[in-house]
């Protein structure tokens, strides 16, 4: 009796694995292709923005349409960091030179996604780009919001509630400056 039940279980497990494993492999391969395409789109957008020193409506809409072509919905985040130097005056005398020290303080002023998109879309009816300065850094991150076949299968296999995210990140320094700076 045990031999018959064992054979039935072996066949059922074999059939499940024969169906599940190929679907899992196809899902993982599709996720890798989507990841590669998303990374390429993000790199292209950031490189173009850093090379021109600006982000305009046309380039942003082209970026979003290329990301949409992957078939996955993304949460896109931008960060623009501008290095600011401010002069400081130290009113205390130093012990060595008995003079006042003058210097500067440097810090990064960061602008996020909301401010960048507000500047692009709410400056009037015409297309007004968001300008960046030479040497600034620009970051872009795209994280998928919809589960893919591969992430669903891996979640099922690992018994965890976490989805594997497709994350595309890229950053670059601004290498060209246009006539206006934000």
Query: Is 49 part of a structural domain of the chain?
Result: yes
Residue 117 in tokens: 């998109």
pLDDT tens, 111-163?
999 999 988 888 665 678 899 988 899 999 999 888 888 888 877 777 766 66
Torsion of CA 72, 74, 80, 81, to 10 degrees: -110
- pLDDT level of residue 3 (50, 70, 90 thresholds): confident
Nearest by Cα to 51 from 144, 146, 134: 134
Residue 126 half-sphere exposure toward CB, CA atoms < 13 A = 1
Place of tokens 């206006």: 180
Query: Is 124 part of a structural domain of the chain?
Result: yes
CA angle 65, 66, 68 (to 5 degrees): 60
Question: Which residues form the domain of 42?
Answer: 2-82+110-173
pTM value is: 0.77
Query: Is 8 part of a structural domain of the chain?
Result: yes
Query: Is 15 part of a structural domain of the chain?
Result: yes
Nearest by Cα to 150 from 2, 7, 53, 23: 23
Q: Is the pLDDT of residue 81 over 90?
A: yes
Query: Is 103 part of a structural domain of the chain?
Result: no
State the average pLDDT over residues 30-44. Answer: 92
Query: Is 46 part of a structural domain of the chain?
Result: yes
If one counts the domains in the chain, the total is 1
Query: Is 132 part of a structural domain of the chain?
Result: yes
């Amino acid at each position: 009796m045990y031999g018959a039940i064992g054979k039935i279980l072996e066949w059922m497990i074999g059939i499940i694995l024969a169906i599940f494993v190929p679907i899992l492999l196809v899902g993982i391969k599709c996720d890798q292709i989507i990841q590669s395409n998303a990374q390429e789109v993000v790199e292209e957008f950031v490189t173009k923005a850093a090379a021109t020193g600006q982000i305009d409506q046309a380039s942003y809409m082209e970026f979003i349409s290329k990301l949409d072509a992957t078939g996955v919905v993304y949460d896109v985040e931008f960060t623009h960091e501008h290095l600011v130097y401010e002069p400081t005056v130290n009113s205390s005398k130093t012990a060595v030179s008995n003079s006042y020290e003058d210097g500067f303080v440097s810090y990064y002023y960061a602008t996020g996604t909301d401010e960048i998109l507000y500047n692009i879309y709410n400056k009037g009816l015409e297309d007004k780009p968001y300008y960046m300065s030479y040497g600034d850094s620009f970051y872009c991150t795209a994280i998928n919001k919809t589960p893919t076949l591969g992430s669903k299968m891996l979640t099922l296999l690992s018994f965890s509630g976490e989805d594997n995210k497709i994350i595309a990140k890229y950053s670059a320094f601004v290498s060209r400056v246009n006539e206006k700076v934000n």
